[in-house]
Amino acid sequence: MALFSKIILIFVFLLIAAIALVFSLLNFQPIEINLYFTSIQLPLVVALTIELFAGIAIGFFAAFFKIFRLKAQYAKLNKQLDKSK
């Protein structure tokens, strides 16, 4: 059963990769991004990729700080539990 689920996972990954490749090839026209002080021109697919990785990084850091805070709370509650015993 594990082999079947791995095959399905690989198939889904390849399908998503193929869709992403077609999407990037269809959106290669140049765009201009205004940054107030300057503007830059780059292909749309590059801009979308930068935004994707920026979103992933922001989500990672938000989750990291949430996990860090929960671990600190867990340690504090664990100390309180040890003191009460």
Domain housing 61: 2-84
Residue range 27-38: average pLDDT?
Answer: 90
- At which residue do the structure tokens 């040890």 appear? 82
Which percentage of the chain shows pLDDT scores above 70?
99
Q: How confident is the model at residue 1 (pLDDT cuts 50, 70, 90)?
A: low
- Tell me the two tokens of residue 8: 């399905």
Q: How confident is the model at residue 28 (pLDDT cuts 50, 70, 90)?
A: confident
Name the packing angle between helices 2-26 and 44-84 (round to 10°).
140
Question: CA 78 to CA 74: how far, in whole Å?
Answer: 6
Those residues with Cβ within 8 angstroms of residue 25's Cβ, 6 or more apart along the chain or in another chain: 45
Number of domains in the chain: 1
In angstroms, how far is CA 11 from the centroid of its own chain?
Answer: 21
- Tell me the two tokens of residue 45: 């697919």
